Amino acid sequence: MLLLISFLYMISSICYSYSKQDKIQNNNMNNTTYKNPTIIEAIVEVRVIPKPELELHEIEEMHSKIQEVFPIKNVLANITGHINIKQGEAPEHSIEDSGPIGFLYKTSDNQKIIQATKEKFTFNLLGKYPGWKPFLSEAKSFWEIYSKIVRPVKITRVAIRYINSLKISLPVYNLSEYIKIYPKLPDEIPHTYEDFLLRFVIPEDKSGNIAVITEGLKKNPEPNTAELLFDMDIFKNLNNNYSYEELFELLDSLDTYKTEIFENTITDKYREMMS
């Protein structure tokens, strides 16, 4: 099952500041590696317009080519829930099942997952992150199998997503020790953080890449600890046709933008905790 992250409430005011001393030059960012990265899930996604005659059973045949690595197969279904509320009457609930839309293939340890539908290929890694190049290389090998079956007419969207979780001690009085994006609380109220949620969108005008950033603090069941969560969903919607080589150049571009945001947002203390 894919990782789902929930928080209790949102604080909308943020403080996002950079200092010249902390800012890292872009040409060094892609070479940054950490012994203990805080990535708990990494995702590559490609959305497509498939060949017109594609049948669902053809996507199911993908499993025979990857079964040694992904022995578990589940059906992906499109289920929609509806609630009809009328004044003076009890709400009416209904569920609409549109049937299977694709397949989900998993490793026996559930650390790697492929989602394959007619319109979308997704590769999820929930194990230890090996670095961008090995991760992309593995995603590429499974994409090649998928694309030979689906034979996309067009690629419509590419995306990568990284969910980071840093374990920190409670109480937290100064989030700026770890990260440069944080809720700025008025001086008149207590400055103790236990739970919060922020979400914002950062477009990169030159490339057309878009970053959806979600950050939050979630209290752990373990006493006096919390998870500082930093979720980066980087994507680009495509209007033109792209070749196989250009697809992976686009993914490289997304990862570069992701790294730029991450490295310019975390502090040296955060980096030390990954070393």
Mean pLDDT of 200-213: 95
What DSSP string describes 130-176?
--HHHHHHHHHHHHHHHHHHH--SEEEEEEEEEEEEEEEESSBS-GG
How many CA atoms within 13 Å lie on the side-chain side of 159? 22
Q: What is the CA radius of gyration of the chain?
A: 21
Please state, in angstroms and rounded to a whole number, the distance separating the CA atoms of residues 70 and 58: 17
Q: What Å distances lie between residue 17 and 10, 22, 23, 184, 192, CA to CA?
A: 20, 10, 10, 12, 20
187 class by beta-carbon count within 10 Å (0-12 exposed, 13-18 middle, 19+ buried): exposed
- pLDDT for 79 equals 59
Q: Rounded to whole angstroms, how far apart are CA atoms 224 and 247?
A: 45
Higher pLDDT, 8 or 84: 84
Is the pLDDT confidence value at 225 over 90?
A: yes
CA distances from 129 to 40, 125, 217, 252 (A): 8, 7, 22, 16
Q: What is the mean pLDDT of residues 117-138?
A: 96
Query: Across residues 245-264, what is the average pLDDT?
Result: 95
pLDDT at 180: 95
Structure token pair of residue 251 = 């993914």
Contacts of 148 (CB under 8 A, 6+ apart): none
Look up residue 245 and give its amino acid.
Answer: E
Which pairing describes strands 14-16 and 112-117: parallel, antiparallel, or unpaired?
Answer: unpaired
User: Does 17 have pLDDT greater than 60?
Assistant: no
Rounded average pLDDT over 37-54: 96
**pTM listed for this prediction:** 0.83
Distance of CA 274 to the CA centre of its chain: 20
Residue with the two structure tokens 């500082």:
228
In this structure, are residues 79 and 154 in contact, taking their beta carbons and an 8 Å threshold? Answer: no
Mean pLDDT of 209-236: 95
